[in-house]
A = this chain, B = another copy of it.
Amino acid sequence: MAQGLAGVVSVGRLAVIVNTADDFELWGLHISPDLDTVMYTLAGVANPVTGWGVAGDSHATLEALNRYGEDIWFSLGDKDLATHILRTQALGRGESLDQVTNRLAGALGISTTLLPMTNDPVATRIHSGDEILDFQEYFVARRQQDVVDAVSFVGIVEGRPAPGVKDALADATVIVVCPSNPIVSIGPILALPGVCNAIQASDAVKIGVSPIIGGKALKGPADRMLTSLGHEASALGVARIYRDLIDLLVIDEIDRELVEPIRNLGLEVHVSQTVMGDRQDRERFARDLLTAAQRLRSHA
């Protein structure tokens, strides 16, 4: 979605606010999985097969770590490592996460403003039965097999939006809640004190895109997570979650029968082909979405 928008929005007019509650430390390195995925995608170097990591990356360091007896439950490519090394070094000498993110993204030729939601440490925890799991433990090591009974964001109350986040929301003409996991990817951003207020106070047209299509998440555990947390795993369930935040929900053609129920919540609905393929297709969808926003604005 971010890549599609970057292709159709004027240079300097797109900011992407990214979840950092998945960040964690591994072998002393600060890993920001969501920032990296967005950064690599915008730089055109993302691995198209996995959706994360760098295309064509090798794993010589990881194999050497394994030889040292390390558990290599989390895959780090060799090229990818350069990002973690430089980020860790920068944070260690007092640079903030938004500063180093800006610097690394700039070096990769990205003109889109890439903003971590916060410079403060926030950590998602997955509560499953009696267990409390670190997010990556749940997501990667245990392959999202645990039933999610509750989710918490440690540090969220003390977290402050990173410099630029509130301004980006205030200055926006369109705010898009991208089709990502509403609980653990979008959830932390919205839970950060000040973010919801900034969205509500903004004059922007506010659009959500349902990550649930035909009752399923395209990838990841969002559908099961919604269900186990008492939501409905459908575009309607997503609409209920975002209803106080957005003006318009974009849903897939396959979910056309949900238009009326969603409208009954007081939301506008735009039906589109929301499954994005290659870069061109992502831009096709971004254009369609911005057209819907434009239409809504002119009606308002």
Contacts and interface: CB of A to CB of B under 8 A. Distances in A.
A104 interface: yes
A57 interface: yes
A97 to B, nearest CB: 15
B107 A79 contact: no
Interface string A76-104: 01111111011011001100000000001
Contact of A79 (B60, B69, B92): B60
Contact of A89 (B28, B80, B83): B28
B57 A60 contact: yes
A93 B28 CA distance: 9
Copies in the complex: 2
A85 to B, nearest CB: 5
A64 interface: yes
A65 interface: yes
Nearest to A85: B27
Contact of A67 (B64, B68, B78, B107): B107
* Chain B CB within 10 Å, residue with most, of A29, A57, A64, A83: A64
A26 to B, nearest CB: 9
Contacts of A191: none
A61 interface: yes
Contacts of A83: 64, 68
Interface of A: 27-29, 54, 57-58, 60-65, 67-70, 77-83, 85-86, 88-89, 92-93, 104, 107-108
